Amino acid sequence: MTRIVVVGSINMDLVTQAPRFVGPGETILGERFLTVPGGKGANQAVAAARLGAEVALVGATGDDAFGQQLRQGLAAENIDLTHTIQLDDCASGTASITVAGGENQIIVVPAANARVTPAQVEQAQALITRADAVLVQMEIPLETVEATLRLGHRLGVPVILNPAPAQKLPIEWLQLARYVTPNQHELAILLGADPDEDFHALMQRSPGPVVLTRGAEGAWYREQGEPIHQHGFNVAVVDSTGAGDTFNAALAVFLREGLSIAVRKACAAAALSVGKLGAQAGMPTLHEVEALLAQQPG
C-alpha cells in the first residue's frame, strides 16, 4: 500500500453559498450555510486516504468543539493522528469561505495550525522514512515547512511542496522539494515575479521542478526540458474548494507510476472533487478516478 505523510493545517470551514461575492460595506442574502471539515493538510490527507493510501497527518487542533469534530472526521477516514497534537486553551483553525458561481473566496485564521512545530516533524521521522511521499503546504509556520523539506531530502523521501497560500521562499527550499505545485499566481509570488508574466516563462525560471495547476485547463509540467500539457476533465463545477488539495494528494499517491500518469490521475481526481459543496465532500475514491479516466481517455 502507498504510504503518505501529510504535514499541514486542519481547519473547520464555514462555507456560505451566495449568488455572488460581496463588495466592501455591502450585505446580501446567501443561499446556504455549511460547517464542514477542511484545511489544506487535512484535505490532502483525506483525499489520499480515499485514493487508497495509508496516511498519517502531522498537525494540530485546539481543545474546542471544532477540534473534536475535526479529529473524529479524520479518524473516520482512517488517518493516523499519532502526530496530530491537541493544544490546550487554543482554538482550532477556521476558514471563512464564500462560494459563488463555482469560485471561492477564503479567509483562514490559523489558530492551532500556527503552532505546528519542526519538533513534531522530527518526531514523525520513523513514519516519514517509510513513506512513499510527503505533502506539505503553507498554512503552518514556515520553519515547519522548511524542516519537512530538509528531513525529506535528508531521508531521500520525495516531498511535494504545495506553496499555498503563497509567499516568496528561499530558492534553496524549492530545490529541496521533489515537486513544487503552484498555480500561476502562486508561482509568480514564489519567485517574486510579475503575476502577469507568461506561465511558461515563469516555469522555465523556477529553480526546482514545477507542476503548474491551471484549474479547468489541467496542468503543465516539464520533462527533459520540454513543456507538457495534461488537459483538464469535463465536469460540472459546484465548488472548486479543495480541488488543488485533491490534485496534490493524487500526485503523491500515484507518483510511483511516473510523473505523466500521476499528473493525469491528479487532474481526473481534482475534476471529480468539484462536483459537491465543501472541500472534502466531492473527493473521489480510486474507483471513481478510474471510471472518469475510462470515460474521458487521453
Q: Site residues (CB under 6 A) for ligand RIB?
A: 9, 11, 13, 38-40, 43, 95, 106, 108, 139, 241-242, 244-245, 279
CA atoms lying within 13 Å on the CB side of residue 102:
11
- Residue 146 and residue 5 in contact, taking contact as beta carbons nearer than 8 Å: no
Nearest to 142 by CA among 81, 179, 190: 190
Calculate Rg over the CA atoms of the chain: 18
The residues, any chain, with a CB within 8 Å of residue 19's CB and separated by 6 or more, are 28, 31, 100
- Minimum distance, C-beta of residue 40 to ligand RIB, in the bound complex (Å): 5
Binding-site annotation: residue ranges for K(+): 239, 241, 273, 276, 278
**Reading across the β-sheet that carries 211-213, which strands appear in turn?**
211-213, 219-223, 226-230
Give me the residues paired with residue 109 across strands: 94
Binding-site annotation: residue ranges: 11-13, 39-43, 139, 183, 213-218, 239, 241, 244-245, 273, 276, 278
Q: For residues 43 and 148, which CB has a smaller minimum distance to ligand RIB in the complex?
A: 43
Q: Is 245 a catalytic residue?
A: yes
Q: For residues 39 and 62, which CB has a smaller minimum distance to ligand RIB in the complex?
A: 39
Q: For residues 84 and 151, which CB has a smaller minimum distance to ligand RIB in the complex?
A: 84
- Minimum distance, C-beta of residue 241 to ligand RIB, in the bound complex (Å): 5
Binding-site annotation: residue ranges for ATP: 183, 213-218, 244-245
Q: For residues 99 and 151, which CB has a smaller minimum distance to ligand RIB in the complex?
A: 99
Q: Which residue is nearest to ligand RIB (CB)?
A: 38
C-alpha cell at 158: 520525495
Distance between CA 93 and CA 119 in Å, rounded?
A: 20
Q: Which of 64, 80, 132, 245 is catalytic?
A: 245
Active-site residue list: 245
